[in-house]
Structure 1
Amino acid sequence: MTLKVVLVSALVAATLARPDTPRPSYNAPAPSYNAPVPSYNAPAPSYSAPAPEAPPKYDYNYAVKDEYSGNDFGAQEARDGYDTQGSYYVQLPDGRLQKVTYTVNGDSGFVADVIYEGEAQYPQESYAPAPKPSYGPAPAPSYKPAPAPPAYQ
């Protein structure tokens, strides 16, 4: 019987402790369907490039040779209208020089001739273990500790 009294008392206490004011509402606002639709079309360019007056014509070349790093490369190209001729070369890591000579004539596409000068050289491989690193003695600390304060008696 005491258990029934305790349960009924707990129920009455919980009911009386309930606030009489309504709980606040935290609902999100309703979506608005009258918003403008974004436009993803790019604006038209505000310039007009002039049409070329003549077919393209140019000639260029460059070369780099650095003995310290071993870099050796260069290129040259000449174009007159739809006909282009050129070449480029590069020193390969194996010691050979690769030369490419090419032509482009109208719609014929890129026609290349590749040649290699020299013999490929590969260094002798070493299977010896790497030497152990030497770190030497530990350096002395660069700070001096402060003297300890005197002990109080």
Structure 2
Amino acid sequence: MFSKIVIACALVALCQAGFLHYHEAPIHYSAPDHFTPSQSYEAPAIHDEPAHEDHYVDEYAYPKYGYSYSVEDPHTGDHKSQHEERDGDVVKGEYSFLQPDGSFRKVTYTADHHSGFNAVVHNSPPVIHNH
């Protein structure tokens, strides 16, 4: 019964409320001040600048690096690793990962000017789970 009285009072208050009238914000315009440039002219000052010499610097650094990383996450099942070395134009490396079927894939690669890019893929047999 109490909730019916509250609803009835709310409806009466809603009916008694008037519409909110919307008034646009007043717009004021003013003319901008115009700039008139001066009519005088001065010759630009001449400064003696030192002669610029072009220096060509060959910043070729001998490419040599090595890096490796590995991930062993039993929670997500993410198991992977990579190792790579470069000495000049010869690159050698390998990467490996655990595939969804439980098999392990390892890729060994080399790259140079003589042979190009060569990769050898090794796969272990998939893991069979007996239930």
The alignment's TM-score, normalised by the length of structure 1, stands at 0.44
Greater Rg by CA: 1
- What is the number of residues matched between the two proteins? 76
3-state SS in 2 of match to 1:89 = strand
The answer to whether the aligner puts 1:104 opposite 2:97 as a matched pair is no
Q: How does 1:28-67 map to 2 (within 5 A)?
A: 51-67=58-74
Comparing both structures, which one devotes a greater share of its residues to strand? Answer: 2
Matches within 5 A, 1:65-76: 65-76=72-83
CA RMSD, aligned part only? 2.5
Deviation, structure 1 residue 71: 0.5
Measured in 2, the distance between the counterparts of 1:88 and 1:71 equals 14
Cα offset for 1:105? 1.7
Unpaired runs of 5+ residues, structure 2, are 1-55
Aligned equivalent of 2:90, options 78, 83, 98 = 83
TM-score normalised per structure 2: 0.51
CA deviation profile, 1:96-142 (whole Å, cap 9, x unmatched): 01000000122422100100123254898xxxxxxxxxxxxxxxxxx
Q: Secondary structure at the match of 1:74?
A: strand
3-state secondary structure, aligned to 1:68: coil
Alignment of 1:103-122 (within 5 A): 103-121=110-128
Which has the bigger relative contact order, CA under 8 A and spacing at least 6?
Answer: 2
Check conservation: 1:94, 1:122, Cα contact below 8 A: no
CA separation of 1:50 and 1:86: change in aligned 2, threshold 3 A = farther
Cα distance between partner residues in 2 of 1:108 and 1:68: 41
Q: Which runs of 4+ in 1 moved over 6 A?
A: none
Identity %: 37
